[in-house]
Structure 1
Amino acid sequence: MAQGSYVEQDFTRDTNYIGDRILAEPDPAKGPGSDTPVGEQEWPVEAGRYHLVVARACPWANRAIIVRRLLGLEGAISMGVAGPTHDADSWTFDLDEGHLDPVLQIPRIKDAYEARVPGYPRGITVPAVVDIPSGQVVTNDFPWITYDMSGQWRDHHREGAPDLWPDELRAEMDEVNKRVYTEVNNGVYRCGFAGTQESYDAAYERLWTAMDWLEERLSTRRYLVGEHITEADVRLFTTLARFDAAYHGHFKCNRSKLTEMPVLWAYARDLFTTPGFGDTTDFVHIKAHYYGVHRDINPTGVVPLGPDLSGWAEPHGRESLGGSPFAPGATAPGPVPERERVPVEHNPHVDPATGLVRTS
């Protein structure tokens, strides 16, 4: 998960990531082992070479899980899943046998950061892409990870993979993504980690101004930008999926629950029941992380039993607005690979036989 901290009054997110890129046509002069500084190097697209390390609790990592699944990159980029809780040092692979990632054979993602930059001084975050041969982190720059999955890995996309960045929509997507990121994705953290009443009040007003804007925008269109799902929808969904489970109470974003905002609630259910979205959502991991790790906010570490999750697969009625999840020629991804399925006890709408969400 991306790192942040209290800074006198306002929450500030550390956005200084390892910004290397994995490109279809990298510049050999900027490759690993060159004199190009870490963070500016270019690595080659190569199926089977890279391991995507995620935590299902983390909204930024959940983006990468969804995009990888929508594009059908499971066979080209393997995935390791860290447990939902971590200490101040690192995310750990406590879900795996022997508490070792089965591909990298390391107990903590910190080991891959240290392999790249000994004494790595910044936050140990997910998602992170690791070069399997060297065991080194290539990048943890989460917006570029998913953007490059769409643009640079096209030769490895599944047949029927959607275009999540249509050329004709990019300018509008950039504008919408910027507001969603600053005011909603990051806005909930700004509320949750506010250091004073004044900073919290300001953060709360900013968040709900943006939520009201989204409620209005999505009242006349099925998706955020265009007639079909784009990465803009992926980026918003991961915050909405965590809203009632964590942000409403734990982060004090409590003007309204998601279930009390009719447009956003229907929009979230529309996406949740689309393959790639709800079938990657692990509510148990989400709650375990936020309530168990943020002891400065929740000192007891007690994890709530709610909220009621029964409504997520109810009919949403969004078809009446037009559009469709996927453009002509694109299709939904099929069953989730067995090793990557969310347990039904973590998401009651998942079909254990396929890993897909069962609709009402």
Structure 2
Amino acid sequence: MSAPDSPGEGGNTEYGRKSFKRSKSHFADRITADGRDGWPVEAGRYRLVASRACPWASRALVSRRLLGLEEAISLAVVDPLQDDRSWRFTLDPDGRDPVLGIRFLSEAYDAREKDYPGGVSVPAVVDVPSGRLVTNDYQRITLDFATEWTALHRPGAPDLYPQELRDEIDEVMEGVYRDVNNGVYRAGFAMSQEEYEGAYRDVFRRLDWLSERLADRRYLVGRSLTEADIRLFTTLVRFDAVYHGHFKCNRSKLAEDPVLWGYVRDLYQTPGFGDTVDFDHIKRHYYMVHTGINPRRIVPVGPDLTGWLTPHAREALGGRPFGDGTPPGPPPVAERVPESGRPPGVAAA
């Protein structure tokens, strides 16, 4: 993203006088099993750079965990707060990423294309040997994790993008992206009352549709977790903490919809989902970086996070989270979410 108070997430964002627009990712090379774009799947070669605050990057965090790719592609977590050079590695000793040796993600962008005019966004995959950005295509990265990295998946990894369900998954994801994933941003960064109200209506029209769809099924498509659930989860888990107030999507809280609240708690309590969520990073990023919306940078104390641990009863709908597979093991020690980012009483893993 290129606007001063934008989150630098999921591609660039253009702020016109009357509208908000999320543009396509500029660097759309793919890492594939056959290496047809010049980037073959190879264990240890690439580094995923992500922000735990960013819903678009969080898709990659969840997918990587579910598929067991932690040893195949290493992880760099950036500071949730940015300066004028965007995402920075100030959480690491000496403010440098220990693998890439850089202070700012922009350095990997510059190594790929000097004076690139767009913003610096996450998720980003960097080629470790050259230090060059490979891709920031947030829509494609997780699909390729599921379909191109299969030789490096853990035993028992789920099929997150099954061939026989792809048309339905794609259709569901398209509506979720337009009206929910991106819809909350269209509402939050609206430049006119009319634009805001249109986005607001889209968000809740789609949430109502999702609530109806999920009333009698545990997952969005089929009887197991898919890419569609990952993409919806990363917006829903932020809804009450951020989008309800900060982005003015305030018709109702997620916790006031029994179906969606049960669904998102079910996912949060599933290994690979909640153990990637850092509520501290989420709140500090949105409320402190978006100074155009929140100029005093005051971070709300609430909402109460203990509800995330309560029973959801979604098991009664049937289905198996991992299909014929198994849950992922605990996250690597170095990747565990700090206590400050977890609901009270939640162990690191």
Which TM class, normalised by the smaller chain length?
A: over 0.9
Q: 2:137 aligns with which of 135, 138, 141?
A: 141
Name the amino acid aligned to 2:55.
P
1:1-360 correspondence runs (5 A): 1-2=9-10, 3-27=12-36, 41-328=37-324, 330-348=325-343, 351-352=346-347, 355-356=348-349
Alignment RMSD: 1.1
CA contact (8 A) 2:179 2:202 kept: yes
How far off is 1:42 after superposition?
A: 3.2
Task: Give the secondary-structure state (helix, strand or coil) at the position aligned to 2:91.
Answer: coil
Equivalent in the alignment of 2:5: none
Tell me the distance in 2 between the aligned counterparts of 1:5 and 1:20.
22
CA contact (8 A) 2:25 2:138 kept: no
Name the amino acid aligned to 1:127.
P
How far off is 1:313 after superposition?
A: 1.2
Deviation track 1:302-338 (CA, whole Å, cap 9, x = no partner) reads 111111101001100111111121112x000011100
Tell me the distance in 2 between the aligned counterparts of 1:5 and 1:155.
38
Equivalent in the alignment of 1:34: none
Tell me the distance in 2 between the aligned counterparts of 1:351 and 1:253.
28
Task: Give the secondary-structure state (helix, strand or coil) at the position aligned to 2:15.
Answer: strand
How far off is 1:44 after superposition?
A: 0.8
Tell me the distance in 1 between the aligned counterparts of 2:216 and 2:321.
16
Tell me the distance in 1 between the aligned counterparts of 2:18 and 2:344.
40
TM-score, with length taken from structure 1: 0.93
CA contact (8 A) 1:5 1:193 kept: no
Tell me the distance in 2 between the aligned counterparts of 1:99 and 1:25.
36
Task: Give the secondary-structure state (helix, strand or coil) at the position aligned to 1:130.
Answer: strand
How far off is 1:349 after superposition?
A: 5.4
CA contact (8 A) 2:49 2:76 kept: yes
Task: Give the secondary-structure state (helix, strand or coil) at the position aligned to 2:108.
Answer: helix
Count of aligned pairs: 340
CA contact (8 A) 2:78 2:89 kept: yes
How far off is 1:135 after superposition?
A: 0.2
Deviation track 1:155-201 (CA, whole Å, cap 9, x = no partner) reads 11000000001111101001000000011000000000000011111
- Closer/same/farther in 2, CA of residues 190 and 130 from structure 1, 3 Å limit: same
How far off is 1:246 after superposition?
A: 0.5
Write out the 4+ residue segments of structure 1 that deviate beyond 3 Å after TM superposition: 349-352
CA contact (8 A) 1:18 1:138 kept: yes
Unaligned runs of 5+ in 2: 1-8
How far off is 1:8 after superposition?
A: 2.4
How far off is 1:17 after superposition?
A: 2.4
CA contact (8 A) 2:308 2:343 kept: no
- Closer/same/farther in 2, CA of residues 350 and 21 from structure 1, 3 Å limit: farther
How far off is 1:351 after superposition?
A: 4.6
Unaligned runs of 5+ in 1: 28-40
Task: Give the secondary-structure state (helix, strand or coil) at the position aligned to 1:45.
Answer: coil
CA contact (8 A) 1:279 1:350 kept: no
How far off is 1:348 after superposition?
A: 2.3
How far off is 1:123 after superposition?
A: 1.1
Tell me the distance in 2 between the aligned counterparts of 1:24 and 1:6.
37
How far off is 1:89 after superposition?
A: 2.4
- Aligned-residue sequence identity (percent) comes to 58
- Closer/same/farther in 2, CA of residues 77 and 264 from structure 1, 3 Å limit: same
Tell me the distance in 1 between the aligned counterparts of 2:26 and 2:160.
23
How far off is 1:216 after superposition?
A: 0.5
- Closer/same/farther in 2, CA of residues 146 and 12 from structure 1, 3 Å limit: same
TM-score, with length taken from structure 2: 0.95
How far off is 1:118 after superposition?
A: 0.6
Tell me the distance in 2 between the aligned counterparts of 1:61 and 1:293.
17
